[in-house]
């Protein structure tokens, strides 16, 4: 049984179901630039920073993994969990770009049968 606040957070931050095709440590990431696009990435590096944890991202190109530039030009700077998504629509719309704890909410959503 979940409380009303958690239910509201799930409805607000996770409006769409997860993509069943994503593998372990695989997410969607909105790569911004002249033309923003949603790409599949692997969160492989754990980068502890002053305000929490960031993740070094890699994408698969031509059978090999290539590091994704998260826009900071610093190899020791990555993306926060709130920048990673488990479906394209939420990623494109930046549904939980302020919620680093969205994976816990997704787990509760599955356990409660809210999908």
What letter would DSSP give residue 86?
S
What letter would DSSP give residue 33?
S
Tokens of 85: 């998504």
Does position 48 have pLDDT exceeding 90, yes or no? no
Average pLDDT over residues 40-69: 92
Number of residues written out for the chain: 115
φ and ψ of 88, to 5 deg: -65, -40
pTM for this one? Answer: 0.91
Q: Each residue of 64-111: pLDDT tens digit?
A: 999 998 877 777 789 999 999 999 999 999 999 999 999 999 999 999
């Amino acid at each position: 049984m979940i409380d009303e606040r958690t239910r509201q957070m799930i409805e607000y931050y996770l409006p769409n179901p997860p993509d069943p095709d994503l593998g372990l440590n695989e997410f969607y990431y909105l790569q911004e630039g002249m033309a923003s696009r949603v790409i599949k990435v692997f969160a492989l590096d754990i980068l502890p920073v002053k305000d929490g944890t960031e993740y070094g991202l890699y994408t698969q190109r031509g059978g090999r993994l290539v590091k994704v530039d998260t826009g900071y030009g610093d190899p020791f700077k990555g993306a926060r969990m709130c920048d990673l998504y488990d479906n394209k629509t939420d990623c494109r719309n930046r549904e939980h770009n302020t919620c680093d704890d969205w994976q816990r909410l997704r787990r509760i959503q599955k356990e409660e049968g809210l999908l």
